[in-house]
Amino acid sequence: MVSSLDGAAQHDGRSQPISCAADMRIFGTLRGLADVVLVGAETVRKEGYRPARAREAFADRRRAAGQTPAPAVAVISAGLDLDFSAPLFTSPLTPTLILTGEKAREDRKKEAEQAGARVVVAGEGRGVDPARAVAALAGLGLTRLLTEGGPRILGQFIAAGVLDELCLTLSPMVTSGEAQRIADGPGIAVPKRFSLASLLEEEGFLFTRYRRT
């Protein structure tokens, strides 16, 4: 995730304006190591998500770990209000997954599967339970999960206690306004403590990695 100095996770609805080239290199590295990229349906729509691509720099490492050439993208969606004609669903190198609830619309689930996606049930009702989502993906052999957002999805994973590590870029910019912060979800009774695992700097941007204590 990336945040401005005054706590904004995006500007005009997108994270790119407060990011930088080094941030995108780290982003690419995290993707290059992941089994699957988790993202909310709203972020897919806003950011115009496309399939993850295979990168030569990570080919040998992924092959040795028994991973697919590129990580799968797993879209978390209760309503399945997604464009199944988009490349994310029709032409990924690794089939896209859709995490949804037991009572999601059957017609939309069929449309997703006809487009080539794999529907994974990970919650009661229409919603997705983060802990159940993690377990369902592990059952498919996908244990290295990269949660790219947006803020609502990250907030839900924090509240459920299934966030193990946070990679946060602190951008030397201020935006004011009413933008979301990096996590926006249900509150927790006691703040959770994370420990600093690494800290890098380039051109005023701070690149941090925290692990759950």
Q: What percent of the chain has pLDDT over 90?
A: 86
- Digit-coded pLDDT (tens) for 116-150: 999 999 999 889 999 999 999 999 999 999 999 88
pLDDT at 13 over 90: no
The CATH class for the domain spanning 2-212 reads alpha beta
Provide the pLDDT for residue 110: 95
- Digit-coded pLDDT (tens) for 32-50: 999 999 999 998 998 889 9
- Digit-coded pLDDT (tens) for 172-190: 999 998 888 999 988 899 9
The Cα 212–Cα 195 span in angstroms is 6
- Digit-coded pLDDT (tens) for 91-125: 999 999 999 999 999 999 999 999 999 999 999 98
- The contacts of residue 1 (CB under 8 Å, 6+ apart) are 9, 15, 149, 154, 166, 167, 168, 169, 182
Overall average pLDDT of the 8-22 stretch: 91
Q: What is the DSSP string of 141-190?
A: T---EEEEE-HHHHHHHHHTT---EEEEEE-S----TT---S--S---SS
Provide the pLDDT for residue 126: 85
Q: What percent of the chain has pLDDT over 70?
A: 100
pLDDT at 14 over 90: no
- The contacts of residue 191 (CB under 8 Å, 6+ apart) are none
Q: How many CA atoms lie within 13 A of 13 on its CB side?
A: 7
Provide the pLDDT for residue 117: 95
Overall average pLDDT of the 202-213 stretch: 96
Query: Whose CA is closest to 80, among 120, 137, 41, 123?
Result: 41
- Digit-coded pLDDT (tens) for 42-92: 989 988 899 999 999 999 999 999 999 999 999 999 999 999 999 999 999
